[in-house]
Amino acid sequence: MIHVLRWLAANLRQISSGDLSIFGGAPIDENVAGRIRAEQINTVFRYMPWMMVANVANAFILSAAFWRSPDRALTLIWTSTIIVFAAFHWIKNLRNHRAKPLSVSVRAIHRAVRNAFLLGSLWGALPLIFFPAASGGGQLIITCICAGMLCGGAFAWASIPIAAMAFTSPIFLASAIAIGLNGDPTYVLVAMLMVVYTCVLLRGVFVHALELTNRLIAQIKVEMAAREDVLTNLPNRLWFTEDLEKAFSRLRRFGEHFAVLYLDLDGFKAVNDKLGHAAGDELLIQVANRLRAIARDAYTIARYGGDEFALVAANVSKPEVLLALAERIVKAFDLPFIIGGSENSISVSVGIAIAPLDGIDPHTLLNNADVALYRAKKQIGGSIQFFEPRHDAKALARRSLELDLQGALQRHEFDLVFQPFLDLVENRITGCEALLRWNHPTRGLVSPEEFIKIAEEAQLIEPIGEWVIREACRTAAGWPQNTRVAVNCSIVQFRNHRILPVIVNALADARIAPSRLEIEITESVLISESESALSILNALRQLGVRIALDDFGTGYSSLSYLRKLPLDRIKIDRSFIRDLLTRSDCASIINFVIGLAGDLGMKVTAEGVETEEQLSYLRTKNCGEIQGYLISVPKSANEIAVFIRDQDIALSRAA
């Protein structure tokens, strides 16, 4: 007995809070416990109206049974007390629980236990006050009412076992005392039955409560899985968006200002590319742990996507407080991350937007935090920037374009047009260059000069570039076998070897020969990614794909590249062609490139040919191929197929 009392004393607080883990329930944290307590309370309140009806009905039955007894006045007082108690809690239930709470505190359980005990004590007073002086029939009614209240109360409070015990214990003890003092052997048997029934009831209460708790825990786990990032176990974008909506709700109701901090890792891609995706995942896990330690329970920190994280700083609006928080985040990255036994240093950039100053809705606030982050990324690693409307108009427009660009491929907003090459020796169309066009639903036609650089910086160029290669090969499959298609490739596509399987798969799917695909590169690829680019270009050349150097003469133009690179063609930039008849230096450069290419066994294409005079000059200098508006403007896939067919027909007739 002493051990039982000690156990109860040690676990009383846990039991009184509704936690059932000591009875075999699953251990839970406070967030989950709040959800479970809410469901326990909601279950009780679902039965509350009927429970109060039962209380009032039983009270009236007792009043009717004792109406002619000497205890009538006392009976009316007791009945009135029950009715007032029932009416008060019924009205309170209607007023406070029109909407189900999603989470409740331990105090709500304590109030429920207190109310259950008070109501149980009122019913426990019934046998103590009225049973000794009642007639045999009255005692029978009291016994039946107490038994019914034991069963009904245990059922109504079953979701909260401690409340069920608080309600039934006074009734059971008072009934046992009243029956025991009566001395009638028949009532002793009734008392024994009440003990058995009470034990069965309490066991049923605990079984029901445990099943409810376990079901809720399983349900919450499923919900959490949908709202948690699988890799880092941080809240994901869905969870973050919900918390952001709640923050705006508190702002509207209570004027509680808050801020969003948008974080992006500096140098993550380098680690990911160098050590592989597994190392990148491990790095993200370690980053999440450091951010979680800073956020604790005060802020919601979420993995927003990729290497981006976001934080809602609730009830904070002072810039100095937010700056201190951002500085703690930046400082958390001072120590290197240990990945695979080696140290890797990265930093984090932070953009901050404050509600409602920088946005009165989630979309605007997040967008402005993103703009601030964009400005921070333009600085050195570990920079912090607040959103500043006066300074960020240009950045906002650029970021808006970037956000539109992110879904453009999935929305099928990209098209390819094709501009043909004319062979000046054979006088025929030898191929076409694939040119990317973005047909934005509201902006209209967006120039590649506007979005290609943004796509590269936002790491969107690889999927876009893959689509271009596949679409270009698919279109070229409908052209004559001796006609090639040229595709421009970005510097970003040469930072890993993914471009190789992309090209191989595109050629295989389109069923065209590798020699019909020409990859155009610029000198910037060679300058910044020389070793990687050279290995990829050699692999492509061995595959049979042709390589062309685009915009030759406009960049670094080291002649050593021409000697060591596997080039098939040099393209003379349109800026030289435009001025070749008016500037002697342009003509000299063109003559030099044509001669140099001939000596190196390479072909030459002159871009931007628009007049007959330019064409005549290039013919006299033995330029092999031209491209420009003089031949054709860029055409759609259907139009270029007709154009090539018509040119072939015209050529065959001329022959």
pLDDT tens digit string along 347-379?
999 999 999 888 888 888 988 898 888 888 888
Q: Given this model, what pLDDT does residue 649 score?
A: 58
Task: Give residue 5's pLDDT.
Answer: 47
Fold that domain 409-654 belongs to in CATH? TIM Barrel (3.20.20)
- How far apart CA 132 and CA 142 sit, in angstroms, is 11
Domain 237-405: assigned CATH number: 3.30.70.270
Length of the chain: 655
The amino acid occupying position 558 is S
Contact 395, 375 (CB under 8 A): yes
Question: Which of the residues in the chain have pLDDT under 70?
Answer: 1-32, 71, 93-104, 132-133, 180-198, 200-209, 218, 220-226, 297-298, 390-396, 496, 524-531, 553-564, 648-655
Cα separation, 342 vs 364, in Å, equals 41
How crowded is the C-beta side of 62, counted as CA atoms within 13 Å? 33
Residue 92 sits at the vertex; the CA angle it makes with 90 and 98, to the nearest 5 degrees, is: 95
Q: What is the pLDDT of residue 1?
A: 40
- Output phi, psi for 217, to 5 deg: -60, -45
Give the pLDDT score at 87: 76
Q: Which residues contact 200 (CB under 8 A, 6 or more apart)?
A: none
The CA angle 28-102-95, to the nearest 5 degrees, is: 135
In the chain, list all ranges with CATH 3.20.20.450: 409-654
CA distance readout (Å), 380 to 336, 384, 392, 611: 17, 10, 18, 48
Per-residue model confidence (pLDDT) at position 4: 47
Would strands 546-552 and 444-446 be described as parallel, antiparallel, or unpaired?
A: unpaired
C-alpha 467/C-alpha 414 separation (Å) is 9
**Total-model pTM:** 0.53
CATH 3.30.70.270 domain span(s) along the chain = 237-405
Q: Which amino acid is at 220?
A: I
3-state secondary structure of 509: helix
For residue 97, count CB atoms less than 10 angstroms from its CB and return exposed for 0-12, middle for 13-18, buried for 19 or more. Answer: middle
> 3-state secondary structure string, 446-463?
ECHHHHHHHHHHCCCHHH
Closest by alpha carbon to 326, among 350, 348, 295? 350
pLDDT at 183: 63
What percent of the chain stands above pLDDT 90?
Answer: 24
Distance CA 105, CA 118 (A): 21
Cα gap 454→459, rounded to integer Å: 8
- Give the list of residues 6+ apart from residue 73 with CB closer than 8 angstroms, or none: none
